[in-house]
């Protein structure tokens, strides 16, 4: 493997020397060392979570904003001023969205007592219906609800702590993004300096593909969010659900959070239709049906064409990596897992010995490889010896 890597020239010299020295040791010694190294790496990442998570988010934002900064600089705007203008524009857009949601939530809070009273009535009627239909006593229902709340309390607490952590570093994010954009040449030159001069073209190709994949993924998420918000709001307005626009926008934002976000996005308008309606099941069922259709359109049309156009990672790997990211870094890990595995796939595709792993992560399916002629001939010879 070391000779192949040396020919390919992908890794730095220090890594090649390490690979050459590793060939001297048998597998039963190398395998535990590799596992110990991976375990140590992930423990360090977990220990430095509070520092690395905002830096990773800042890096994604910087990659997304970099083309706009370059455009401003092409208009002969100084680099520092261009970065400041782009950051201010981004902050104004995000601030406008937050202001809109705040005004909607303020008007919603004025009716909170009414919704609380109506919600208690609907919940009581639902409990009596469950008792009459399934013969489950009210006491047993209360026990089941408390058990469910306790089982989900840890995950909800982790989610809330992650959200609060993101909000607490809101001041640091613009600083990180500014510094990453300003010192971008240093980071780019670092990758070129690490590798040999004759491989700079390949390094440039990897950096370009990585930038395009990350930009496409983040921009696709934003476009998906806008489309889903419009579809959600339109469906809720047609069904006559109160605060349709607010619930539609919140549902689109929550939809970005894998799995958990989609469930909450459906639960909020269903609960609103129960509490703010006449108590019948017609509107809630129509809301569930409408959101199901929207989710189908999102998963089968919007995401493949808008979000996954550059991130060519198959669905199985996406689900597993999102779950691992959630277990490792919480909601932040869910966000960062897809760009991370996309970058890994790009690296694997450019390293000869790691290309099988790149194909495993990808979406292109070929026919299974047939055995090599020499192997097939050897198998035939062995069969002839056994059965002359």
Q: How does residue 73 score in pLDDT terms, banded at 50, 70 and 90?
A: very high
State the pLDDT at residue 84: 94
Q: What percent of the chain has pLDDT over 90?
A: 11
Exposed, middle or buried: residue 342 (CB in 10 Å: 0-12, 13-18, 19+)? Answer: buried
Q: In the structure encoding, which two tokens stand for residue 73, read together?
A: 């600089």
Q: In the structure encoding, which two tokens stand for residue 296, read together?
A: 């189908």
Cα 102 to chain centroid distance, Å, stands at 26
Q: In the structure encoding, which two tokens stand for residue 158, read together?
A: 């982790």
pLDDT tens digit sequence for 132-179: 777 777 777 778 777 766 655 555 555 555 555 555 567 788 899 999
Q: In the structure encoding, which two tokens stand for residue 18, read together?
A: 């390490």
Exposed, middle or buried: residue 275 (CB in 10 Å: 0-12, 13-18, 19+)? Answer: buried
Contact in structure between 59 and 175 (CB atoms under 8 Å)? no
Exposure string of 53-85, with b = 16+ CB inside 10 Å and e = fewer, is: bbebbbbbbbbbbbebbeebeeeebeeeebbbe
Going by C-beta distance under 8 Å and a sequence separation of 6 or more, which residues neighbour residue 211? 63, 66
State the pLDDT at residue 334: 80
State the pLDDT at residue 180: 93
Q: Residue 367 and residue 274: Cα distance in Å, rounded?
A: 52
Contact in structure between 42 and 328 (CB atoms under 8 Å)? yes
Task: Give the distance between the most distant pair of CA atoms in the chain.
Answer: 90
State the pLDDT at residue 310: 58
- Indicate the angle between helix axes 27-47 and 49-74, nearest 10 degrees: 80
Report the pLDDT averaged over residues 10-37: 64
- Name the 3-class secondary structure at 6: helix
Q: Which is more confidently placed, 286 or 166?
A: 286
State the pLDDT at residue 71: 93
Contact in structure between 310 and 216 (CB atoms under 8 Å)? yes
Q: Residue 186 and residue 253: Cα distance in Å, rounded?
A: 35
Task: Name the range with the highest mean pLDDT among 14-23, 66-75, 190-199.
Answer: 66-75
pLDDT tens digit sequence for 98-145: 888 777 777 666 666 766 776 677 677 777 777 777 777 777 777 877
State the average pLDDT for the chain.
Answer: 76
Q: How does residue 5 score in pLDDT terms, banded at 50, 70 and 90?
A: very low
Report the pLDDT averaged over residues 237-252: 86
Cα atoms in the Cβ-side hemisphere of radius 13 Å centred on 199 = 20
Q: How does residue 8 score in pLDDT terms, banded at 50, 70 and 90?
A: very low
Q: How does residue 86 score in pLDDT terms, banded at 50, 70 and 90?
A: very high
Q: Which is more confidently placed, 299 or 4?
A: 299
Residue 78 in this model has a pLDDT that exceeds 90: yes
């Amino acid at each position: 493997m070391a000779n192949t890597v040396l020919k390919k020239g992908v890794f730095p010299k220090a890594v090649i020397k390490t690979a050459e020295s590793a060939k001297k040791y048998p597998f039963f010694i190398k395998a535990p060392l590799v596992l110990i190294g991976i375990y140590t790496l992930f423990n360090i990442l977990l220990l430095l979570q509070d520092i690395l998570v905002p830096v990773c988010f800042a890096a994604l934002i910087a990659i997304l904003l970099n083309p706009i900064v370059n455009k401003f600089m092409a208009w002969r705007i100084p680099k520092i001023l261009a970065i400041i203008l782009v950051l201010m524009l981004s902050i104004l857009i995000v601030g406008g969205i937050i202001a809109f949601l705040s005004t909607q939530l303020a008007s919603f809070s004025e009716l909170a007592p009414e919704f609380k009273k109506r919600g208690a009535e609907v919940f009581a009627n639902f409990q009596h219906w469950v008792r009459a239909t399934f013969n489950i006593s009210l006491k047993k229902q209360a026990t089941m609800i408390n058990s469910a709340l306790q089982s989900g309390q840890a995950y909800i607490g982790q989610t809330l702590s992650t959200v609060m952590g993101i909000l607490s570093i809101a001041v640091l994010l613009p600083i990180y993004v500014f510094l990453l954009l300003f010192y971008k040449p240093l980071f780019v030159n670092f990758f070129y300096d690490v590798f040999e001069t004759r491989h700079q073209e390949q390094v440039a190709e990897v950096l370009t593909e990585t930038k395009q994949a990350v930009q496409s993924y983040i921009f696709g998420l934003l476009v998906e969010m806008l489309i889903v918000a419009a579809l959600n709001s339109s469906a809720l307005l047609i069904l006559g659900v109160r605060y349709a626009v607010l619930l539609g926008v919140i549902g689109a934002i929550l939809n970005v959070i894998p799995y958990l976000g989609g469930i909450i996005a459906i639960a909020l308008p269903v609960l609103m239709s129960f509490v703010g309606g006449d108590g019948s099941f017609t509107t809630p069922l129509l809301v569930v049906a409408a959101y199901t259709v929207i989710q189908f359109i999102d998963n089968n049309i919007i995401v493949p064409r808008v979000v996954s156009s550059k991130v060519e990672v198959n669905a199985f790997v996406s689900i597993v990596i999102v779950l691992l990211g959630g277990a490792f870094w919480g909601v932040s890990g869910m966000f960062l897992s897809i760009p991370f595995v996309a970058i890994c796939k790009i690296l694997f595709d450019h390293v000869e010995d790691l290309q099988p792993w790149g194909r495993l992560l990808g979406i292109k399916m070929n026919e299974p490889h047939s055995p090599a002629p020499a192997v097939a001939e050897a198998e035939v010879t062995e069969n002839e010896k056994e059965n002359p």
